[in-house]
Amino acid sequence: MFRQLSARFGGPLAVAILTLLGIWLIVMVTLPQLQMIDYSLRPNLLPAQVGGPEDRLTIANYATLFNNDIHRAIFFKTLWSSVLVTVLTLIVSYPLAWYLAKVATPRQAALCILLLIIPFWINEILRTYSWFIILAFRGPLNEVLLMLGLIDRPIRFLSGDAGVMVGMVYAYILFMVFPVYNAIESLDDNQVRAARDLGAGTVRTHRRIVIPHAKPGIATGCIMTFMLAAGSYAVPALLGSPGSRWFTQIIYNWFFEGGNWNQGAAYAFLLLVLCIGFMSLVMKIFKVGLGDIAK
């Protein structure tokens, strides 16, 4: 990395960039994570007890998750739901990325990208609340379905996980579309033409040519979408029902309602380990490395 930066910007500027990057990683990433781990390994004590005989390292905060059936169920439900959100987002994003990269004219692609980006100029909570209005029991979606005669009575879209899924796919679609779009755009059109000339259909062309070429972009999009979904708080809080709680809501409750930062830190670290494990799994499945994803 240093040689590449040095060749592009010169030695002194390359050193300055790497130094600032190192400081940022240490101050903003490494130290907070180490402090969180330290919090998670200590009991929740009164200020007067800190540093006393009861202030010792323990894994009791981690054991709480496995001893609490409700929290454990929510943890695994968050895992499965985040994977489902990732799959749904990929299903929606892949055709769109293909259209933008290989089908649309430059003018059409620019207009489509603009239409995708403009809603994200609005705060995420406002965008999520707009879906709350759309999916409400007497909201516009139910009114349209009733008017078209497709349903006999309003549907409670927000009574389960359906609203959360829709809101998350919408909230994180850009993080899937753009990596896949960038990967597909670099594909040589001659490879697609050759596959079609040899008799390959659309599905086979994508399966044998496009998807293998776009693996780094797909892996990047899946990793980013999963981590954002697993760590989301606003979407499940606004669009979820009491029976569709997210693990992040449990963490929030430990920190800000229960006042138990040690227990909250343990739960947050377990969520971090889950995200790292998913990232490693995706990289293994798609057979890509960090260098491929960084491209």
CATH of the domain at 221: 1.10.3720.10
Question: pLDDT per residue over 255-283, tens digit each?
Answer: 888 888 899 999 999 999 998 899 888 88
Q: What is the DSSP string of 44-103?
A: ---GGGTTSTT----SHHHHHHHH-HHHHHHHHHHHHHHHHHHHHHHHHHHHHHHIIIII
pLDDT band at 99 (very low <50, low <70, confident <90, very high): very high
Residues 6+ apart with CB under 8 A from 126: none
Rounded Cα–Cα distance for residues 62 and 265 (Å): 9
**The predicted structure's pLDDT at residue 291:** 66
Residue 37 lies in a domain: no
Q: Model's pTM, two decimal places? A: 0.86
Domain hosting residue 76, numbered range: 69-294
Residue 29 lies in a domain: no
pLDDT band at 139 (very low <50, low <70, confident <90, very high): confident
Rounded Cα–Cα distance for residues 291 and 1 (Å): 11
pLDDT band at 4 (very low <50, low <70, confident <90, very high): low
pLDDT band at 80 (very low <50, low <70, confident <90, very high): very high
Residue 62 lies in a domain: no
* Mean pLDDT, residues 248-254 taken together: 91
**The predicted structure's pLDDT at residue 199:** 84
Asked if 121 and 269 touch (Cβ cutoff 8 Å), the reply is no
**Number of C-alpha atoms within 13 angstroms, CB side, residue 76?**
7
**Number of C-alpha atoms within 13 angstroms, CB side, residue 95?**
5
First and final C-alpha spacing in the chain: 13
Q: Between the ranges 2-11, 88-97, 279-288, where is the mean pLDDT highest? A: 88-97
Q: For the chain, how many structural domains are there in total?
A: 1
92, pLDDT greater than 70: yes
Residue 134 lies in a domain: yes
**Residue carrying structure tokens 């040095």:** 6
Q: Outline where the chain has alpha helix (H).
A: 2-9, 11-24, 31-40, 60-67, 69-98, 106-117, 124-134, 140-147, 162-172, 174-185, 189-197, 202-205, 211-213, 215-230, 234-239, 247-252, 261-286, 290-294
> 26, 76, 125: which is closest to 270 by C-alpha?
76
Angle CA 256–260–262, to nearest 5: 120
Residue 74 lies in a domain: yes
